[in-house]
């Protein structure tokens, strides 16, 4: 079984006020923290919805401004094309991913309770997500979760979900960074 890691980073960071993926935490951009959290759990990692030097990038599918589902859709198709069985997804601001995240979420489809962008998705769902997004302009993550029958999993440790600069400051203070 092979797994693709997908960092979903196509958002506008409007609540954060600047490029969230590149915001610094402990001397490294948030996106690098997420990459490090996925590295030992995935055979390949892609960055969805943006480009960054040194990372394989995928444009959101079917196009930009699709929300997290655009990145997940691109990742599912890439995984299917490359022969991966599943996709482990996280947002670019989900620093502190558990080292056993994929194990906690297995079997797919499953997502982290309260953080639906963090999930484990079978690659064979790619055409289903295409069809679902094409109907009535569906972009809601929870709607997709219901449509594909994903189950909610309460993780042992909750990863960061940084939406505002204050969230980043609080995380740094809490961990002494």
Query: Token pair 């080292």 is at which residue?
Result: 99
Q: Answer for the pair 139, 63: CB distance below 8 angstroms, yes or no.
A: no
Residue 161 main-chain phi, psi, to 5 deg: -135, 95
Instruction: Please indicate if the annotation marks 63 as binding a ligand.
Output: no
Instruction: Please indicate if the annotation marks 143 as binding a ligand.
Output: no
Instruction: Please indicate if the annotation marks 156 as binding a ligand.
Output: no
133's enclosing H/E stretch is helix 126-134
165's enclosing H/E stretch is helix 165-175
Residue 149, helix vs strand vs coil: coil
CA 76 to CA 126: how far, in whole Å?
Answer: 5
Instruction: Please indicate if the annotation marks 113 as binding a ligand.
Output: no
Instruction: Please indicate if the annotation marks 93 as binding a ligand.
Output: yes
Helix and strand element counts for the chain (H, E): 6, 9
3-state percent breakdown (helix, strand, coil) of the chain, nearest 5? 35, 20, 40
Binding-site residues for Mg(2+): 93
Binding-site residues: 8-10, 20, 60, 93
Binding-site residues for GTP: 8-10, 20, 60, 93
């Amino acid at each position: 079984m092979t797994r693709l890691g997908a960092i979903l980073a196509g958002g506008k960071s409007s609540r954060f006020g600047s490029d969230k993926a590149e915001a610094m935490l402990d001397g490294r951009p948030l996106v690098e923290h997420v990459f490090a959290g996925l590295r030992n759990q995935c055979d390949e990692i892609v960055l969805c919805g943006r480009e960054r030097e040194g990372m394989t990038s995928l444009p959101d599918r079917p196009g930009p401004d699709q929300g997290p589902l655009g990145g997940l859709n691109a990742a599912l198709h890439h995984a299917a094309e490359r022969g991966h069985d599943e996709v482990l997804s996280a947002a670019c601001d989900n620093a502190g991913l558990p080292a056993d995240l994929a194990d906690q979420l297995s079997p797919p489809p499953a997502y982290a309770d309260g953080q639906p962008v963090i999930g484990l998705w079978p690659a064979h769902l790619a055409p289903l997500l295409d069809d679902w997004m094409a109907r009535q302009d569906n972009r809601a993550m929870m709607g997709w979760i219901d449509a594909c029958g994903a189950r909610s999993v309460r993780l042992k440790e909750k990863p960061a979900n940084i939406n505002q600069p204050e969230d980043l400051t609080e995380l740094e203070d809490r961990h002494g960074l």
